[in-house]
Amino acid sequence: MGMLRVTGYALGVLFLVAGCTSATLKPESEAPDVSEAEPMVLTEMPAKTVTPAASSAPSVPLVESAPAAEPATTSPATLPPIHIRGPMNRPEAYAFVEEMARLYNFDRVQLAKLFSQIKPRPKVVEAISRPAEAQPWHKYRPRFIQAQRIDKGVAFWRANTKYFDAAQAQFGVPTEIVAAILGVETLYGKHAGGFRVVDSLATLGFDYAPRAAFFRKELQEFLILSREQGWDPRAIQGSYAGAMGLGQFMPSSYRRFAVDFDGDGKRDLHRSTADAIGSVAYYLQQHGWGAGAPIVTQASTQGETYTRFISRDFKAETPLAEMRDNGVTWDATIVAERAGLFELENTGGKEHWLGFPNFYAITRYNRSVLYSMAVYELAQEILRGNAVRLTESN
């Protein structure tokens, strides 16, 4: 995909660049050289102070929060020009840099140097255009419900019992669910991603039209996060979509839901197993997880009126009494008031399942019922495997 194409976003903000003498396109041959060998830690301009705000995450000290939009403290006409080399030498990139400086007090020159080192990745667009969740359940399931992932999940649980027990006690999320998410996401850190996050987010934010606004926002969050954490943004790797660490948190989720669970004063989802465990549990709690409540159960259906409850946008909001009146039946021992109905395409035909609010909480991690079912089934296998190990050790 041509990286110099002016997107719809560019047309909306082009006036900002065209009317600002400080941000003019310059031929690559005239732009200054920049070196990736030199460390880069994003800094805040001293002319404007960002007021710290408390993170919603527990056990985390005050972190810098993006301020509300304010007029620039200096007239754009008086600012020195900035120059971006390479594929990001384009109007949208200049507009983005100016916006980050104006709203979040970033150093414009420093961001221009960073953007000169961004390498667009066409493979990122290819990967996000063919997600695994587009497959039927009977093909999706074997990717995650496999002996290797189950065995590693049991071993990971036993090696980190202290942190899992603490997370379950504090947030109410069962150990097997947290372990399953970490297993599905990265196989317990083995596959945490090999793309530079800044490259992925810039590629998707400027050259993937279906979700460009979302990924531009995540690029903003990543730059703010890098400044807060003292990271060199060029050194952070993650998935093709820009997710990071053992639990594959997007930058916005990292800023809002990452917790310092080992008490070392840092929220480190890349290297701290404790922080990863605590952060996944906290994320689910904040998205509605209820301790001890049901997650999902298979259902039977009769007639045709039940089909109106099935939606691609899964929500656990339909009163169960209403479902029962429309031909849906399930395990009578389950106590709940509301659920969502969904279908899975298995080798023997379609199956119907009821997902409760806890199932919905898992879909907030990845908005796919296939993903949530994979997490649930892997969790049950890990739970059984751990029970066997406990029996063998006694």
pLDDT in tens, 320-347: 999 999 999 999 999 999 999 999 999 9
Q: Is the pLDDT of residue 24 over 80?
A: no
pLDDT of residue 262: 97
Q: Is the pLDDT of residue 20 over 80?
A: no
In a domain, 69, yes or no: yes
pLDDT of residue 68: 38
Q: Is the pLDDT of residue 10 over 50?
A: no
Q: What is the largest CA-CA distance in the chain?
A: 75
pLDDT of residue 130: 86
Q: Is the pLDDT of residue 23 over 80?
A: no
Distance CA 30, CA 280 (A): 47
Handedness of CA 36, 256, 380, 137 (dihedral sign): negative
pLDDT of residue 35: 55
The per-residue pLDDT for range 187-233, each reduced to its tens digit, is 999 999 999 999 999 999 999 999 999 999 999 999 999 999 999 99
In a domain, 83, yes or no: yes
Instruction: Please name which of 273, 249, 251, 250 lies closest in space to residue 260, comparing C-alpha atoms.
Output: 273
Residues in the chain: 394
Q: Is the pLDDT of residue 78 over 80?
A: no
Distance CA 93, CA 393 (A): 59
Q: Is the pLDDT of residue 3 over 90?
A: no
Q: Is the pLDDT of residue 70 over 50?
A: no
- Domain count for the chain, please give it: 1
Q: Could you list the residue range(s) of the whole structural domain that residue 109 is in?
A: 8-35+49-117
pLDDT band with cut points at 50, 70 and 90 for residue 41: confident
Q: Are 86 and 3 in contact (CB under 8 A)?
A: no
H or E segment to which residue 158 belongs:
helix 147-159
The single-letter code of the amino acid at 276 is A
Distance CA 21, CA 273 (A): 48
In a domain, 53, yes or no: yes
Q: Which residue has the tokens 């400027």?
A: 206
In a domain, 178, yes or no: no
DSSP class per residue in 81-143: PB---GGG-SHHHHHHHHHHHHHH-B-HHHHHHHHHT----HHHHHHHTS-GGGS-HHHHGGG
Tokens matching residue 9: 């976003």
Q: Are 274 and 160 in contact (CB under 8 A)?
A: yes
Which residues lie across from 121 on neighbouring strands? none
In a domain, 236, yes or no: no
pLDDT of residue 19: 35
Residues annotated as catalytic (active site), given as ranges: 185
In a domain, 231, yes or no: no
Please, what is the average pLDDT of the chain? Answer: 86
Q: Is the pLDDT of residue 30 over 80?
A: no
pLDDT band with cut points at 50, 70 and 90 for residue 47: low
Q: How many CB atoms lie within 10 A of CB 282?
A: 25
Q: Are 20 and 98 in contact (CB under 8 A)?
A: yes
Distance CA 271, CA 259 (A): 13
In a domain, 387, yes or no: no
Q: Which residue has the tokens 């009821």?
A: 354
Tokens matching residue 232: 């060199």
In a domain, 67, yes or no: yes
Strands (E), the chain: 52-53, 63-64, 195-196, 237-238, 296-301, 318-319, 328-329, 338-346, 349-355
* Overall pTM surpassing 0.85 (yes/no): no
Per-residue b or e along 81-119, where b marks 16 or more CB atoms closer than 10 Å to that residue's CB = ebbbbbbbbbbbbbbbbbbbbbebbbbbbbbbbbbbbbe
Average pLDDT for 249-257? 98
The single-letter code of the amino acid at 284 is L
Strands (E), 250-348: 296-301, 318-319, 328-329, 338-346
